Chain A
Amino acid sequence: MNALPCTIYLSFTGALLALLIGKRSALGARIVALATALLGLEITLSAAFSYIPNPHGLTTLVNTPWISQLGIHYYLAVDGISLTLLILTGLATTAGILFSWNIEERVGEFFALYLVLIGGVYGVFMSADVFLFFVFYEIAIVPKYFLVAIWGSKNKEYGAMKLVLYSFVGSSLVLAGLIWTYAASGASSFGLPDLIQASSHLTHIQHIEIFGLIFFGFATLAGLFPLHTWAPTGHVAAPTAASMLLAGVVMKLGAYGCLRVALPLFPQAIDFWQPIIACLAVLGIIYAGLIALIQEDFKYVIGYSSVSHMGFVILGLISCNLKSLSGAVLQMFSHGIIAGLLFAVVGRMVYERTHTRNLNELKTMGLGKRLPFVACVFVIAGLASMGMPAFSGFPAELTILIGTWKVSAVWATAAAVGILISAAFTLRAIQLAFFSDAKSVTSANTHAFAPITLPEKLGSILLIGTTLIIGLKPDLLFNLINPALQSPYFENIIKGVTS
């Protein structure tokens, strides 16, 4: 448990090492990165196994004064929700490194930036002081630019800039909201528990205004419609490992910020904003799904599917009851794994061999026969993404729908339509990319592809295994998530809605 903060320090140290070693040997940098990621994963997993739910809410890891004049503390604490996302970070990092094993250009710098990003993400998930939270959040933003702009593909500089500016504008809104809360409520510190107490002194109008700033600031990163447009462009432009991280972990930062900061701080604002945000979330689910249905570029399909699936998370969050919230957290985890897998297939395993992502061109290659392993992985990932039982997407989306139904049957029904659409675009992509009829396969495209490498296999197995285990026994995570949601930390928001 107490080793958890080391994940942050480890990542930053690993980044430095990878940078230094990368100049001499690319392999060395890869090994350093993988070792760092595995150590991080090991620490989070062992912490989760030994974790005993704390009925009072957060379990403090470190709490020392940092800038005493403003009551800012270096305050790290976790509960079941943070642990769930920490495990996700560990898994996604490891898989991302396995799938970017073949990067040849500026290897040391790549893994250094990658690990800095990860260090920031670990930090966000553990911060219990909003100032610290914000600092880590920003640390995670800048490396994204370089990862996408240097190692990306199509439109990489545009995509990178768009991605970073959206994130930064979002975080500026958050910063403004946080400073406002601190100044207006007369809080003595930036610690989350203190702020929650102090924010109850704010007026109802202030609750509504500040909640708007902070929630939409975070939701930008979570891909809430109509602030989602950075996501498809960014995901497509990014190199595989970065898309895996962006969709798998970074979008979760936004959702986590909504859950950890925005909702508990301003419970009085929920009634006002709930219909608006829920409508946007449902619109996002359906709209992004429909767009994914007509994409020619394989990666755009996955990019828009991410937006659609993140809509479920937002819907679950804003429905604000125990079921919907726990579903939302599980969906964050589940989507992190599945989106990582999908991007790995499209960006790495297919693109590196075919050098195209155009579905119409892929159709002529007969990939189903020529790359059976890839086809198999993608079918599994696609099924998981559609929300088939036995995979983690199923319990997550189902729980969200049940929770949402208690608030509004209309939203739940509309979101369920979204699941149908997601089945449609996933099946379309599977069919076009892998199982087109034999007639359309042209003979010109029959040279042999490079075989599937060991890191690719390991990464696929890691992610598929996780989604299967959680799909078959979601209680593994629900047992972490539910006690956290029932703790006093969240009691205001869960009580705040009549169900």
Chain B
Amino acid sequence: MNFNYTQLLLAFSPEITLIIGACLVLGADFITQKSVPLSQRVTQSILVGLITLVAAGYLSYTSNQALDIPGIITFDPLAYGSRLCIIILTTLVVCSLGATPGRTQPAEYISLLLLGTSGLIVMPAAQNIILGFLALELASLSLYILTGFDRTRSRSSEAGMKYFILGSTAAAFLLFGISLIYGATGSVDLNLIASHLNSHPLTPLTKISLIFIIVGFGFKTAAAPFHLWAPDVYEGAPVTSAALISSVSKLAGFAFFTRLLCLGLAPLRGNLSFKDSSAGWLILLAVLTLASLLIGNLGALAQTNIRRLLAYSAIAHTSTLIIALMIFNTTGASLIIYYTLTYGCALIGIFTILGLLDPEYKSGLITDLAGLSKRSPLLAGLLGLYTLSLAGIPPLAGFFGKFFVFTFALKSQGLSSPLGILVLAGILFSAVALYYYLGILKQIFVKPGTQAPLTIKLNVATLAALILTALVIVVLGIAPQLIVN
């Protein structure tokens, strides 16, 4: 490991920017706290947060593979694309923050959010397994607090606690798995691990370590049967935190585990086919895919709370993403990035609107949306757009994400393979998914509402966030080659 501090500074400049920004938000708020009203503090914090994110975004946009520090951090397409998308999605979340009035500690919230982001953007790029784990923990700890941030609501604290306990357990599993890998290979550098494993076949030790790592993976990406935290967290967390967890955290988690499994542990992939299967993580992931598909889609059918429904639908979407991960070595990073970016935009949009409609979070029932198309045509239209994208209706981006994953999966394996069967199941279950998404749309557009017209004051930033997310979904839908190529 030969590097100097200038190199280090350059490579980690976006992270450093984010951390400085986190301090600045706190500092600025501390200075003005006494003198200005709360609304102004919110605006000020959002503004500082946005400037920080834009700066960090620019720095990571200009970074390239020349900045790689071998064995520590890399800027290959997976890392580069994920980092950029994480910052874009976080920026959208921060823009939408204005939608939740009444928050008493804007600076703390945004500062934690920036801190978490600095962890999240290291995750996809870490070549060093310890660095990656630390980044994951930094991000997770921030997210636990962000989940329980709304101290006035017991639901939020409960969700934060649940997320924290389950998350730490999962992290312990992951760490234990990683330590076993270190024990087996004697290295924490993913490249060295891969080359060591190449010459050593699967041993009982690495098998056990794989299982532990997959537990961590399942938790982080909300894949069944490690999904139990998701419905509670989606329901209890403040909307912006839920948006962050469902979009950015998912993207970073997938990028992190893609690197870990497909590059570091690639020799342990095993073989997945009807004739000659061999042990490895492909089989474990196939089980996770099937479980997520079933539990996500069937669980969503039974939900009456819209946020819990979104959580179960997120579990179902995870199954498609796992398929994308399984074929990563033949397709590259674009599939995962495209899918998570467009999916994240839809969820950020939905959560923002939910926050606008029910700022106090009174009930969160799907039926609360009844008659929205009369009460606020703009929000109804946008919500419809996001939902249709999640349902995978062309020409919106959600459809293309699924289509690409399925096409490439079938291209690499054919239909008469376990992967092919998973794809077929995924396609057929999209009809089940359409049922519950139509349930949402039915409330919005078909059912007559009882409430009076809404007079929601949309501030500029929120409106911008909503319009940008919608644009991403429409534009990337009509022109998916922008990312795929």
The 9 closest A-B CB pairs, nearest first, are A183-B410, A135-B394, A183-B411, A169-B431, A149-B446, A176-B427, A168-B431, A180-B415, A172-B427
Does B480 reach chain A (CB closer than 8 Å)?
Answer: yes
Does B172 reach chain A (CB closer than 8 Å)?
Answer: no
Q: Chain A residues with Cβ under 8 A from B435's Cβ?
A: 161, 165
Pair A157/B410 contact, Cβ less than 8 Å:
no
Does A146 reach chain B (CB closer than 8 Å)?
Answer: yes
Contact of A165 among B410, B424, B431, B485 (CB under 8 A): B431
Pair A184/B395 contact, Cβ less than 8 Å:
no
Q: Chain A residues with Cβ under 8 A from B395's Cβ?
A: 135, 139
Residue of B nearest to A180 (CB): B415
List A154-182 residues whose CB lies under 8 Å from chain B: 157, 161, 164-165, 168-169, 172-173, 175-176, 179-180, 182
Does A298 reach chain B (CB closer than 8 Å)?
Answer: no
Beyond A149-B446, A173-B428, A184-B410, 13 additional pairs, beta carbon < 8 A: A68-B485, A70-B404, A70-B407, A138-B394, A142-B388, A142-B393, A149-B442, A157-B446, A161-B438, A165-B431, A165-B434, A165-B435, A183-B407
A146 to B441, CA, bound (A): 9
Contact of A179 among B373, B406, B434, B480 (CB under 8 A): B406
Does A150 reach chain B (CB closer than 8 Å)?
Answer: yes
A140 to B441, CA, bound (A): 17
A139 to B392, CA, bound (A): 11
**Chain A proximity of B427: nearest CB distance (Å):** 5
A242 to B92, CA, bound (A): 40
A142 to B396, CA, bound (A): 13
A135 to B402, CA, bound (A): 13
Q: Chain A residues with Cβ under 8 A from B407's Cβ?
A: 70, 179, 182-183
Size of chain A's interface in residues, with CB distance under 8 A?
31
Does B13 reach chain A (CB closer than 8 Å)?
Answer: no
Q: Chain A residues with Cβ under 8 A from B403's Cβ?
A: 175, 179
**Chain B proximity of A106: nearest CB distance (Å):** 9
Pair B410/A180 contact, Cβ less than 8 Å:
yes
Does A478 reach chain B (CB closer than 8 Å)?
Answer: no
Does A425 reach chain B (CB closer than 8 Å)?
Answer: no
Q: When each residue 5-25 of chain A gets 1 if its CB lies under 8 Å from chain B and 0 otherwise, what string results?
A: 000000000000000000000
Contact of B481 among A67, A109, A135, A180 (CB under 8 A): A67
Residue of B nearest to A178 (CB): B407
**Chain B proximity of A307: nearest CB distance (Å):** 22
List A168-214 residues whose CB lies under 8 Å from chain B: 168-169, 172-173, 175-176, 179-180, 182-184
Q: Chain B residues with Cβ under 8 A from A138's Cβ?
A: 393-394, 399
**Chain A proximity of B286: nearest CB distance (Å):** 18
Residue of B nearest to A134 (CB): B394
Does A145 reach chain B (CB closer than 8 Å)?
Answer: yes
Pair A183/B414 contact, Cβ less than 8 Å:
yes
Q: Chain B residues with Cβ under 8 A from A70's Cβ?
A: 404, 407
Pair B442/A157 contact, Cβ less than 8 Å:
yes
**Chain B proximity of A199: nearest CB distance (Å):** 14
Interface size, B (range): 20 to 34
Does B301 reach chain A (CB closer than 8 Å)?
Answer: no
Does B430 reach chain A (CB closer than 8 Å)?
Answer: yes
Does A498 reach chain B (CB closer than 8 Å)?
Answer: no
Does A69 reach chain B (CB closer than 8 Å)?
Answer: yes
Pair B445/A150 contact, Cβ less than 8 Å:
yes
**Chain B proximity of A241: nearest CB distance (Å):** 17
List B467-485 residues whose CB lies under 8 Å from chain A: 480-481, 484-485
Q: Chain B residues with Cβ under 8 A from A184's Cβ?
A: 410, 414-415
List A18-76 residues whose CB lies under 8 Å from chain B: 66-70
A183 to B405, CA, bound (A): 12
Residue of B nearest to A113 (CB): B445
Q: Chain B residues with Cβ under 8 A from A150's Cβ?
A: 445-446
Q: Chain A residues with Cβ under 8 A from B415's Cβ?
A: 176, 180, 183-184
Q: When each residue 372-401 of chain B gets 1 if its CB lies under 8 Å from chain A and 0 otherwise, what string results?
A: 010000000000000010000111000100
Residue of B nearest to A145 (CB): B438
Pair B427/A175 contact, Cβ less than 8 Å:
yes
Q: List 10 A-B contacts (CB under 8 A).
A: A70-B407, A139-B393, A141-B393, A168-B431, A169-B431, A172-B430, A173-B428, A176-B423, A176-B428, A179-B407
Q: Chain B residues with Cβ under 8 A from A157's Cβ?
A: 442, 446
**Chain A proximity of B311: nearest CB distance (Å):** 23
Contact of B428 among A109, A135, A164, A172 (CB under 8 A): A172
**Chain A proximity of B417: nearest CB distance (Å):** 11
Q: When each residue 449-477 of chain A gets 1 if its CB lies under 8 Å from chain B and 0 otherwise, what string results?
A: 00000000000000000000000000000
**Chain B proximity of A80: nearest CB distance (Å):** 28
A183 to B404, CA, bound (A): 12
Q: Chain A residues with Cβ under 8 A from B481's Cβ?
A: 66-69
Pair A146/B446 contact, Cβ less than 8 Å:
yes
A150 to B481, CA, bound (A): 36
A158 to B435, CA, bound (A): 12
Pair A164/B434 contact, Cβ less than 8 Å:
yes
**Chain A proximity of B406: nearest CB distance (Å):** 6
Pair A139/B394 contact, Cβ less than 8 Å:
yes
Q: Chain B residues with Cβ under 8 A from A173's Cβ?
A: 428
**Chain A proximity of B393: nearest CB distance (Å):** 6
List A117-138 residues whose CB lies under 8 Å from chain B: 134-135, 138
List B430-451 residues whose CB lies under 8 Å from chain A: 430-431, 434-435, 438, 441-442, 445-446
Residue of A nearest to B407 (CB): A179
A184 to B441, CA, bound (A): 37
**Chain A proximity of B118: nearest CB distance (Å):** 34
A179 to B446, CA, bound (A): 34
A169 to B410, CA, bound (A): 19
Pair A146/B410 contact, Cβ less than 8 Å:
no
Pair A179/B410 contact, Cβ less than 8 Å:
yes
A149 to B445, CA, bound (A): 9
A430 to B424, CA, bound (A): 47
A134 to B393, CA, bound (A): 10
**Chain B proximity of A143: nearest CB distance (Å):** 11
**Chain B proximity of A166: nearest CB distance (Å):** 9
Q: Chain B residues with Cβ under 8 A from A165's Cβ?
A: 431, 434-435
Most chain B CB neighbours (cut-off 10 Å) among A139, A157, A164, A175: A175
Pair A168/B434 contact, Cβ less than 8 Å:
yes
List A69-109 residues whose CB lies under 8 Å from chain B: 69-70, 109
Q: Chain A residues with Cβ under 8 A from B406's Cβ?
A: 175, 179
A109 to B380, CA, bound (A): 13
